[in-house]
Structure 1
Amino acid sequence: MINSTPQVVTIAGSDSGGGAGAQADLKTFQARQVFGTTIFVALTAQNTLGVQSVHSVPTSFITAQFESLAADLDIRAAKTGMLADSQIVKTVVEAYKTSNFGPLVVDPVMIAKGGHPLLAEEAIETIKQELLPIATVCTPNLPEAESLVGHAIETDEAMVDAAHYLQQLGCPNIIIKGGHGTGDTVRDYVLLEDGTSFWLLAPRIDSRATHGTGDTFSACIAAELAKGVALREAIIIARRFIQGAIADRIHVGHGHGPTNHWASLSNDVMVEEII
């Protein structure tokens, strides 16, 4: 029975306000019944009104955290969030290659809800060239996908093209989230390694309580993978989880509030197959 409980790690920054970052990941892990662990790469002073300060963790300490977990725990899946700068990205990539942490979900966090940059501009290329090739799945929102591909994404066709471009960089499974788009329905495009693809459709919810949605979504995928759930099903569960977490609002702070990690899976998410 030693190490038999599913274990997962978030490699991310700390959100002192508790709505995003590693804190949101840990709440998601707990809700999805896996044991969550952390590798902190940065600390932030932030709340629902925004980010006031960022402090990067020394790369030697990041490596030490990897080594500590690998020496004792049985990490079955991992996710990255805020990685701050190119040197941290490189450190995470090298440490991950020597760890047996299972499939890797990359959430390419770039900007906080309030607009504060969480990734140095020069680190975008490092993510493309070094992190994506070791990832199992990448989950950019529209602005993040635009930064990765280098141009605007304004149509369904452009989302499809962007996903194929990112897949060609070495990440076999791509999810481009449409929450930053327009219209009454949010459309997320999913491209899988075997060449199949589908859309996830859900009603757009008018809410300012959306802080940490990307972290929560990607953390849920990692949690399901750690339990042995197939990737396609893990993605659908994660979309239902975040839809419920936004719809069943909690009231915290005066700005962009957090999602509700106590919420149930939503039945409002539809799968549109592509033939």
Structure 2
Amino acid sequence: MKRYPTVKRYPTVLTIAGSDSGGGAGIQADLKTIAALGAYGASVLTALTAQNTQGVRGIHPVPPDFVETQLNAVFEDITVDAVKIGMVDAGAVAEVIAMVLDRYQPTQVVFDPVMVATSGARLIRDETVEVLWQTLFPRATLITPNLDEAQVLVGWPIDSLEKMKTAALELVQRGCRGVLLKGGHLLGPRLYDVLALEGEEVPQVFESVHIESANVHGTGCTLSSAVATYLALGYPLAEAIARAKEYVAGAIEAGREVTTGHGHGPLNHSFSPQKMQLFS
């Protein structure tokens, strides 16, 4: 095969997550976000789901050995600037991902731990949560739990901004390097997200305006993949989070009056597409 000399490359984000056949969340939302923000997206599937805007009809897990095969195929060929991890519902898959992260040492890893469905149902077993504490949490630059997921991790209710700060600091004390605790489930006209980092005693609070919309399916996937993309583009963590929040707010606003399906529709990921950037 003829090879051509290259002097530039795309900033690249690898997303490790489940698919969403409805296109609003999971791998599909991640890849749309990464492209919209000017980077190149690679992907590794951990599960296939049959779902649409009205709910999930089935989940088909990908065997751990094939997850590893996908990971090796990407890392052996493509320079990965940041990794986003989403749905990991089996301890064996978490162990494989941790092993491969140790092998290739990506500098930026954002983990969105999917644990609780919108209905409130638990999506992950207690023993799998324990494996995550031993494998992926300490290897992630940042974890991005929502309130329901953080409550699973700390074991007590979180119903105020002050409790969010306490919970985020507790998660760092228990071994996480960075925690962005998302407060979107708290009722009120203002939204608060709390960032706690290893070695810092005072968490940072990000404040934003609540946008009323029925089309918020995939918001968590979109935010975490946007943070990973901005990290891949070279932004410091706090600025990457701020920019990612601005992107998500714009995507919600742009998709607020659009109808996709008969349930909770997706964001408008392409509301402000950026030109693909290049690294020398």
Same-fold call, TM cutoff 0.5: yes
**What's the counterpart of residue 254 of structure 1?**
262
**Which residue does the alignment assign to 2:276?**
none
**For residues 170-220 of structure 1, what are the alpha-carbon distances to aligned partners after superposition, in whole Å with 9 as ceiling and x for unaligned?**
222211111011111111111234515321111112222111000000000
Q: Counterpart of 1:225 in 2: which secondary structure?
A: helix
- SS of 1:15's equivalent in the other structure is coil
Equivalent residue, structure 2, for 1:159: 164
Match of 2:217 in 1: 211
Among 27, 37, 44, the residue aligned to 1:39: 44
Structure 2 unmatched runs, 5+: 1-5, 274-280
CA distance in 2, matches of 1:228, 1:60: 32
Indicate the residue corresponding to 2:141 in structure 1.
136
Structure-2 residue corresponding to 1:234: 240
Cα offset for 1:112?
Answer: 3.6
Question: Displacement of 1:264 after TM fit?
Answer: 4.1
Tell me if the contact between 2:11 and 2:40 (Cα under 8 Å) persists in the aligned partners: yes
- After superposing the two structures, state which structure 1 stretch, 211-220 or 98-107, moved more: 98-107
Matches within 5 A, 1:48-67: 48-67=53-72
Distance change (3 Å), C-alpha of 1:114 and 1:156: closer
Q: Residues 173 and 119 from structure 1, CA distance in 2 versus in 1: closer, same or farther, beyond 3 angstroms?
A: same
Relative to structure 1, the CA distance from residue 3 to residue 73 in structure 2 (aligned partners, 3 Å threshold; closer, same or farther) is farther
Picking from 101, 106, 111, the partner of 1:101 is 106
Q: Which residue of 2 aligns with 1:273?
A: none
- Distance in 2 (CA, whole Å) between partners of 1:28 and 1:93 is 24
Aligned length: 265
Q: 1:231 to 1:79 in 2, by over 3 A?
A: same
Question: Do structure 1's residue 110 and structure 2's residue 118 form an aligned pair?
Answer: no
Contact 2:145 2:180 in 1 (8 A): yes
Question: Is the Cα contact below 8 Å between 2:36 and 2:272 reproduced in 1?
Answer: no
Q: What percentage of aligned pairs have identical amino acids?
A: 42
Distance change >3 Å, CA 146–CA 191, structure 1 → 2: same
Deviations 1:249-274 (CA, angstroms, capped at 9, x unpaired): 23211111111102349xxxxxxxxx
1:175 aligned residue: 180
1:15 & 1:2 partners in 2: Cα distance? 36
Give the corresponding residue for 1:9.
14
Deviation at 1:117, TM superposition (A): 4.7
Shift of 1:100: 3.3
TM-score by length of 2: 0.90
Query: Which among 88, 95, 102 is matched to residue 90 of structure 1?
Result: 95
By how many angstroms is 1:2 displaced?
5.2
Q: 1:254 to 1:87 in 2, by over 3 A?
A: same
Whether contact under 8 Å (1:51, 1:116) holds in the other structure is: no
- The amino acid that maps onto 2:206 is L
Aligned pairs (5 A) from 1:64-79: 64-79=69-84
Structure 2 Cα separation of the partners of residues 48 and 34 of structure 1: 27
Moved more, 85-94 or 157-166: 85-94
Distance 2:268 2:109 in 1: 24
Higher relative contact order (CA 8 A, sep 6+): 2
Tell me if structure 2 keeps the 8 A contact 1:113–1:211: no
CA distance in 2, matches of 1:2, 1:72: 16
Of 223-232 and 196-205, more deviation after overlay is shown by 196-205
Q: Highest CA radius of gyration, 1 or 2?
A: 2
- Higher mean Cα deviation, 153-162 or 74-83? 153-162
Give how far 1:116 is off. Answer: 5.9
Amino acid at match of 2:103: T
What is the TM-score with the length of structure 1 in the denominator?
Answer: 0.91
Q: Among 138, 151, 154, which residue is 1:149 paired with?
A: 154
Contact map agreement 1:178 1:188 (CA 8 A) in 2: yes
Runs (4 or more) in structure 1 with deviation over 4 Å come to 114-117
Name the Cα RMSD after superposition.
1.7
